[in-house]
Amino acid sequence: MTSTAVSAPRPTVPHWRSVLAVVAHPDDESFGLGAVLDALARSGSSVSVLCFTHGEASTVRGVSGDLATVRAAELQAAAAVLGVASAQLRDHPDGSLDAVQRQTLVEDVSQVATAAGACGLVVFDPNGITGHPDHVAATTAALEAADTLGLPVLGWTLPHAVADQLNEEYNAGFIGREAEPGDLLLPVDRVRQRAASAEHSSQAVPTSVLWRRLELLGDLEHLRWLRGAPDAAPCTPPGPASYQVGRTAQPEPAAEGATRRIEHRGDDQFAIAIRDDVLTIDRPEQTGGQNVGSTPAERFVAPLPHRLSGHPDHPRLRTRPR
């Protein structure tokens, strides 16, 4: 049986205007995805990070202060080093992410991806790289959200040879993958990844397996498409001339080729995405909403004066006899 070779290294990452990385713990964005996010930022993408937990269950000791607070600050510092535009942190339980209702995590991803105008997602491989249940839960939620939004997803993987070497040297539980057609070999510069990883001082101890993994990987990262693959356009639309509500997509004629997506965020709150524009509809707090967007009536009335101003024969707009 002959082995299957991966595609040749590519000098660039997907040409996405905006991309969202979904991870489980502070430091996953640097230890795991750091070089990839750096490459995306350098290529001109606006990079956002959604981290589900504060990493408060870490076994590393010697940290002064509340670990959850410390690690939240480390995330922000590392994100700045990597050129990340926004790093959002949720407060789901570290070590028990798989016990959180799946739909809650999916909605977290959908909301952040929609608000960021994400053209694609970047995640850990579905095996979690180390098999950690939190990693698996984070990627699973991201994939479900991507299915709803119609977004492509790149998964960060580890070659078998590297995983086996690390497991032998550190008695670790890394999970490698065989290369498959269509996998990407991405040339990377690890300077910023190493600097960002160092910002996680509560975790990046000198004896960490992290440093050995980076050494074994050299200047290449291994990625594979978990959902779709973008074309040459700066942003891959979720589908031709369609809008999506939840998991149900219905055809509708699109104005000037635009794609519209409607996401129900609970109660009377909706996010309407037209191309890269996101409109949020909500109610005031006093009527049961969260006041994070304009009301349907406000959205309807706001454009009217502008539209009517072009019709001087309208009796209410006529200022003098013609």
- What is the predicted pLDDT for the residue at 15? 86
- What is the predicted pLDDT for the residue at 258? 44
- What is the predicted pLDDT for the residue at 268? 60
Count of residues in the chain: 322
- What is the predicted pLDDT for the residue at 66? 87
Matching residue, tokens 């004629």: 253
Specify the domain boundaries for CATH 3.40.50.10320 within the chain: 18-227
- What is the predicted pLDDT for the residue at 290? 63
pLDDT tens per residue, the chain (322 residues)? Answer: 344 444 454 446 888 999 999 999 999 999 999 999 999 999 999 999 999 999 998 866 556 568 999 999 999 999 999 999 999 999 999 999 999 999 999 999 999 999 999 999 999 999 999 999 999 999 999 999 999 999 999 999 999 999 999 999 999 999 999 988 889 999 999 999 999 999 999 999 888 899 999 999 999 999 999 999 765 455 744 433 332 333 333 333 444 444 445 555 556 666 665 555 556 666 676 666 666 567 765 554 454 444 433 444 443 333 334 3
Specify the domain boundaries for CATH 3.30.300.20 within the chain: 242-308
225 strand-pairing partners: 154
18-227 placed in CATH 3.40.50.10320 = yes
Distance CA 149, CA 18 (A): 14
CATH of 242-308, one of 3.10.129.10, 3.30.300.20, 1.10.8.420, 3.10.270.10: 3.30.300.20
Distance CA 71, CA 76 (A): 9
Under a CB-based contact definition with an 8 Å cutoff, are residues 153 and 121 in contact?
yes
- What is the predicted pLDDT for the residue at 256? 44
